[in-house]
Amino acid sequence: MMQPESKNLSQNPDIRFLGALLGEVIRDQGGEALYRRTEYIRSAAVDRARGVEGTDTGLDALDLDSTLAFTRGFMLFSMLANLAEDRAGGTNDNAIGVADALARLEQGGIGRDKVAETLSRALIMPVLTAHPTEVRRKSMIDHRNRIADLMLLRDAGTQETPEGEPVTEAIARQIALLWLTRSLRRERLYVADEVDTAIAWLRDVFLPVLPALYVHWDRALGQRVAPFLRVGSWIGGDRDGNPNVVAESLGMALGRASEAVLGHYLAEVDALGAQLSVSSELAAVGADVQALAEASGDNAPSRTDEPYRRAIAGIYARLCATFVTLTGKPCPKPSRLVAEPYAKPEALRADLVVLARGISRQAKALRTEGALARLIRAVELFGFHLASLDLRQNSDVHERTVAELLAVAGVEADYLSLDEAGRTKRLREVLASPRPAMLPRHGYSEETAGELAIFAAAATARTQYGERAIERAIISKAASVSDLLELTLLLREAGLDAVTPVPLFETIGDLDAAPNIMTEWLGLSEVAEAAKARGHQEVMLGYSDSNKDGGYLTSTWRLYGASLDLAAVFADAGIAMQLFHGRGGAVGRGGGSSFAAILAQPPGTVGGRIRITEQGEVIAAKYGSAEAARTNLEAMAAATLLATLEPPALHAKDGARFAGAMDTISAAAFKAYRGLVYDTPNFRQFFRTMTPVAEIATLKIGSRPASRTKSDAIEDLRAIPWVFSWAQARVMLPGWYGVGTALAGFEDRALLKEMADWPFLAAILANMEQVLAKSDMGIAARYAALAGDDGAPIFARIREGWERTRDQLLEVTGQSRLLEHNPALDASIRLRLPYIEPLNLLQIELLKRHRSGETDPRIAEGIQLSINAIATALRNSG
Ligand code: PGA
């Protein structure tokens, strides 16, 4: 890796610098022999990547201990290379910020007032989830972030850290700490751990960054913009397939979030008090500020002429009381005053606004106004709850719960035996009647009692932390109007009528049915009324499951089609639509640039409202530092504005032509994909032996079980291990399979080339190209050998499909090799490939030994380490 002068494909000086330091650490900590062996393996892999034949891999000489050490070394190198790359601005995003988007809109004749008006109706919300694809422990990420901070000092030419340590030594020490930190989790993760990790990002990054961004946006727009961009979370509320999420989890998640946000406000208010020493003897102070000062009960003689400080002491005391009430813990720095807690964030905001008004009357240039303005913004955005927490449960569970309620209430003895029309009719009757369907003290079954407890906890949470704490409940595997009505009933029983039920459509069939389901749903007068009062209705779209069901191209196209059709349904009903995109980091789960993805949304489907899941490794990548968070949040806001306000890039006539072509291509891709994955005898067995899917399930990276049921059918497997395991085996099948056959069979080549510039298809092809570049059929063939001779014909189809897909992509995009038009990404991937290959080869060996019954625990550990290392090197794991 490791010496700057040795064979290294990188032109990036940071990679060379960090790689050399890592080499030193390995030599120092692991010994000269390990260092030399690692260096040999690395340079042999580089040779092979350059086409030098016949080099020995050097892997055979590794015993188990050195295999583990070697794997860690390569993983750390990948982490450091990722860091260096992030510092250089990433590899493939043409994202712009809000100021540039405003300029672009202005050129198109769309002025700032129009933008501000759009924002007043807008909602953009990244929603953090705990989907288990982050393989790195938080301690590793924290070390990585410290190295990034030190690199900034180095950039500035600073020789010593503020603590007096030479900067290079400090970096080397952090790398040594990385080397000495166990990279695998020993204990399983609990929901509480996932909550804490998310809160750390929210507290350390979102809380300071978002209000500051608004200051910037207000200036760009020349007016105070509405709080259109806020944060959401699923952690502690998403119980679909995760029996560990229970009613207590909800209370725990919100309690901890509240502690974090109130702690932040307390510190900010305290700092304001130190600053605002304005004396009424030197400046006239308005009656409103005086009144707040009087009401504070702060009568300290030293402050009688300091009304702001007195008012702030009062606000601080009320915040302390709020902290005690909401968290059940003592205030971190208690107040001397006795005060009532704030009942709602709005009351806190109102007090802060009094101060701000007073100050702006006083002297426009008082610098604290900035801090105060940011604090007011923070209270608007984060309330007492920090992030809006969604509930999520599977429609089957809602169904069973409702069936039990209705049976016990004597309303419907066998709800589950009713057909859809019967269910809908019955549920509407129950909903129209004021008579409760739930008997409060009845002893329901464990599952039903658990569900009811969750809803009860949600109702309590909304009273405690404010209504914005929980605004939506999501229905996984939604497939009918009765699915929506069932949840509506459960919400009503708990007094949660104001919480929106949101259907999540996730298979190809459900996506196709979605427009009809929503037509029927919005056609119910009581529903339309509620949605109009709320101002919108949300629909969630599942990227991963539709991909697993129908393949990459069909999933993407049906998501597009469903969005368009849904937009028409909503327009007819006169109700604003809000789409919630359930995407992961890997292309097979809807990954790729968010900026491009938002811009590639069909015309008329964004309308200023968009929610997007952010999960796993994506969270640290996009929001791991203030700078990254600023760029990504700016990009999300800018893309939403452009997608909402710019006229469609496509003429309607072209749209229809392109759609016709896409229907044909998608049908062919679907056939090819389904033919392989679902209709090939023994495919399931092949997949299970060729990839490390079983071993991935043993990684302790999430609180939820790897599968919902005991079945080993692909249909029942969760999408994450499906995508994750194909990535490890370097096939990445969910990111491309079926596309080559479909494109090859499409006869109008000129039309296809014309369509390649359409942002929608361009985004599909760009993401697929990245996946093809990271996959490797030579390595994949070695994994396929794990499946024995029976698997050979299946693998032959995969290989052929891969080649066809690559050839078609090159032809359609007019390139002679992959990534010819994207040199930055090309260089990044080329740098990494030689480091991944030895990890793959080792993993295959370890899998063989593990599966043949060898029980040395270092083998299982080595497999897990190699999974981590490969995922880190590929960057998007699951
Ligand atoms: P889910 O998510 O399995 O929680 O529905 C799918 C995914 O994000 O891959």
DSSP 369-410: HHHHHHHHHHHHHHTTTSSEEPEEEEHHHHHHHHHHHHHHTT
Q: Which two tokens stand for residue 83?
A: 């860091």
Residue with tokens 């608007």: 380
Share of the chain above pLDDT 70, in %: 97
pLDDT in tens, 793-803: 999 999 999 99
What's the burial of 90, exposed, middle or buried (CB within 10 Å: 0-12/13-18/19+)?
Answer: middle
- Across the range 384-394, mean pLDDT stands at 98
Give all domains of the chain, ordered by start, each with its CATH number: 250-382 (1.20.1440.90), 652-874 (no CATH)
Looking at the DSSP bridge assignments, the partners of residue 579 are 539, 610
Phi, psi of 31 (to 5 degrees): 100, 160
**φ, ψ at 616 (rounded to 5°):** 50, -135
Q: Is the pLDDT of residue 708 over 80?
A: no
Pocket test for ligand 1, best of 395, 696, 720, 723 (most atoms within 8 A of CB): 720
Residue 435: both structure tokens together: 């008579």
Rounded mean pLDDT, 104-126: 96
Q: Which atom of ligand 1 is nearest to the CA of 392?
A: 4
Q: How far is the CA of 354 from the centre of ligand 1 (A)?
A: 46
**Lowest-pLDDT range of 112-126, 446-460, 790-804, 821-835:** 821-835
Q: Predicted confidence band at 360 (pLDDT cuts at 50, 70, 90)?
A: confident
pLDDT for 244 beyond 50: yes
Mean pLDDT calculated for residue range 832-859? 94
Judge whether residue 366 has pLDDT over 60.
Answer: no
584 Cα nearest atom in ligand 1: 8
What distance in angstroms lies between residue 584's CA and the mean position of ligand 1's atoms?
8
Q: What is the pLDDT of residues 512-563, one digit of tens each?
A: 999 999 999 999 999 999 999 999 999 999 999 999 999 999 999 999 999 9
What separation in Å is there between the alpha carbon of 656 and the centre of ligand 1?
A: 32
872: closest CA among 71, 3, 87? 71
pLDDT at 10: 62
Strand partners, 475: 393, 503
* Residues 261-270: tens digit of each pLDDT: 999 999 999 9
Which ligand 1 atom is the nearest neighbour of the CA of 583?
8
CA distance 638 to 624: 20
CA of 130 to the centre of ligand 1 (A): 10
Ligand 1: atom nearest CA of 704 is 4
Instruction: Dig out the tokens for 654 from the structure.
Output: 């072209």
Spatial distance between the Cα atoms of 135 and 702, rounded to a whole number of angstroms: 9
Residues with CB under 6 A from ligand 1: 131, 240, 476, 544-545, 582, 584, 589, 718-720
pTM for this model (two decimals): 0.95
| 649-691: pLDDT as tens digits | 777 788 889 999 999 999 999 999 999 999 999 999 999 999 9
In this structure, what token pair is assigned to residue 848?
């063989």
Give the pLDDT score at 172. 97
Encoded amino acid at 345, one letter? P
DSSP secondary structure code for residue 717 in this structure: B
Q: In whole angstroms, give the CA distance from residue 338 to residue 537.
A: 44
Cα–Cα nearest to 502, from 86, 127, 79: 127
Q: What are the C-alpha distances in Å from 42 to residues 76, 440, 691, 840?
A: 13, 66, 24, 13
CA gyration radius, the chain: 29
What pLDDT, in 10s, does the model give residues 1-54?
554 344 544 678 999 999 999 999 999 999 999 999 998 998 888 888 888 877
| Pairwise pLDDT comparison (648 vs 403), residue with the higher score | 403
- Ligand 1 atom closest to residue 718's alpha carbon, by position in its atom list: 3
C-alpha 789 – ligand 1 centre gap (Å) = 33
Name the residue with higher pLDDT: 95 or 851: 851
Most informative mutation of 390, 395, 545 for ligand 1 (most atoms within 8 A of CB): 545
How much distance in Å is there from the Cα of 143 to the middle of ligand 1? 29
Tokens standing for residue 20: 């050399």
Q: What pLDDT was estimated at residue 166?
A: 96
- Tell me: pLDDT of 216 over 70: yes
**pLDDT attached to residue 5:** 40
Q: How far apart are the first and last CA of the chain?
A: 26
Please tell me the distance from the alpha carbon of residue 547 to that of residue 590, in angstroms, as a whole number: 8
What integer best gives the mean pLDDT of the chain? Answer: 93
Bridge partner list, 505 = 541
Q: Where are the beta strands (DSSP E) in 448-582?
A: 472-476, 500-505, 537-542, 577-582
pLDDT in tens, 141-165: 999 999 999 999 999 999 999 999 9
Burial of 364 (0-12, 13-18, 19+ CB in 10 A): exposed
> 750: which residues sit within 8 A by CB, 6+ positions away?
none
Angle (CA) 306 309 313, round 5°: 140
Mutate to test the pocket of ligand 1, among 718, 722, 725, 877 (most ligand atoms within 8 A of CB): 718
- Residue 103 contacts by C-beta under 8 Å, 6 or more apart in sequence? none
CA of 470 to the centre of ligand 1 (A): 21
pLDDT, mean of residues 279-288 = 83
**3-state secondary structure (DSSP) of residue 492:** helix
Atom of ligand 1 nearest to the CA of 240: 4
Residue 49 CA to residue 46 CA, distance in Å, equals: 5
Strand partners, 613: 127
C-alpha span between 664 and 660 (Å, rounded): 7
Best CA proximity match to 500, nearest among 458, 461, 538, 542? 538
Closest CA to 514 of 649, 605, 589: 605
Nearest atom, ligand 1, residue 476 CA: 5
Residue 9 confidence (pLDDT): 47
Give buried/exposed letters for 157-168 (b at 16+ CB in 10 A, else e).
eeeeeeeeeebe
**According to the model, what pLDDT value does residue 135 have?**
86
pLDDT at 706 over 90: no
Residue 597 in tokens: 């993805």
Question: Does the pLDDT at position 128 exceed 90?
Answer: yes
Residue 365 clears pLDDT 60, i.e. is over it: no
Other Cβ atoms closer than 10 A to 200: 14
Centroid of ligand 1 to alpha carbon of 718 (angstroms): 7
- How many CA atoms within 13 Å lie on the side-chain side of 407? 16
Q: How wide is the angle at C-alpha 700 spanned by C-alphas 695 and 706, nearest 5°? A: 60
d(CA 7, CA 2): 9
Strand partners, 697: none
Q: What residues contact 170, with CB distance under 8 A and at least 6 apart?
A: 150, 161
The CA-based diameter of the chain, rounded to the nearest angstrom, is 92
Q: Could you say which DSSP state residue 128 is in? A: E
Supply the residue whose CA is at minimum distance from atom 3 of ligand 1. 718
3-state per-residue secondary structure call for 144-169:
HHHHHHHHHHHHCCCCECCCCCEHHH
Lowest mean pLDDT among 291-295, 512-516, 736-740: 291-295
Residue 88 is predicted with a pLDDT of 74
Q: How far is the CA of 582 from the centre of ligand 1 (A)?
A: 8
Q: What is the position in ligand 1's atom list of the atom closest to the CA of 719?
A: 9
CB 327 within 8 A of CB 259: yes
Contact 723, 734 (CB under 8 A): yes
505, 543, 544, 717: residue to mutate for ligand 1 pocket, most atoms within 8 A of CB: 544
Q: What is the pLDDT of residues 79-96, one digit of tens each?
A: 998 898 888 765 446 789
Ligand 1: which atom is nearest the Cα of residue 582? 8
pLDDT at 425 over 50: yes
Give ∠ CA 93-95-97 in degrees, rounded to 5: 150
Identify the H or E element spanning 127: strand 123-129
Q: Vertex 811, ends 810 and 815: CA angle to 5°?
A: 50
- pLDDT at 369 (0 to 100): 59
pLDDT at 17: 95
Q: Which atom of ligand 1 approaches the CA of 723 most closely?
A: 9
From 128, 131, 235, give the residue whose CB has the most ligand 1 atoms within 8 Å, as the site to mutate: 131
Say how many Å lie between the CA of residue 543 and the centre of ligand 1: 8
Work out the pLDDT band at 319, boundaries 50, 70, 90: very high
Burial of 47 (0-12, 13-18, 19+ CB in 10 A): middle
| Gap from CA of 602 to ligand 1 centroid (Å) | 23
Active site amino acids: 131, 548
Residue type at 605? T
Element (H, E) at 194: helix 191-201
493 within 8 A of 455, measured Cβ to Cβ = yes
Q: Read off the tokens for 360.
A: 């702006």
DSSP-derived letter for residue 588 is G
What is the structure's pLDDT at 93? 66
Q: In what order do the strands lie in the sheet with 500-505?
A: 388-389, 232-233, 123-129, 609-615, 577-582, 537-542, 500-505, 472-476, 391-394
Count the neighbouring beta carbons within 10 Å of the beta carbon of residue 101: 23
How many angstroms separate the alpha carbon of residue 241 from the centre of ligand 1? 10
Tokens coding 324 = 């005690």
CA of residue 506 to ligand 1 center, whole Å? 9
Of all atoms in ligand 1, which is nearest to the CA of residue 504? 5
**Could you tell me where the DSSP H helices lie in 733-776?**
739-744, 749-755, 759-774
CA 348 to ligand 1 center in whole angstroms: 38
* Tokens 């672009």, residue located: 104
CB 775 within 8 A of CB 732: yes
Alpha helix (H) ranges present in 328-468? Answer: 345-362, 368-382, 395-408, 420-432, 446-465
Contact (CB, 8 A) for 686 and 798: no
Looking at 88-111, list the stretches that DSSP marks H as alpha helix, in order from N- to C-terminal side: 98-107
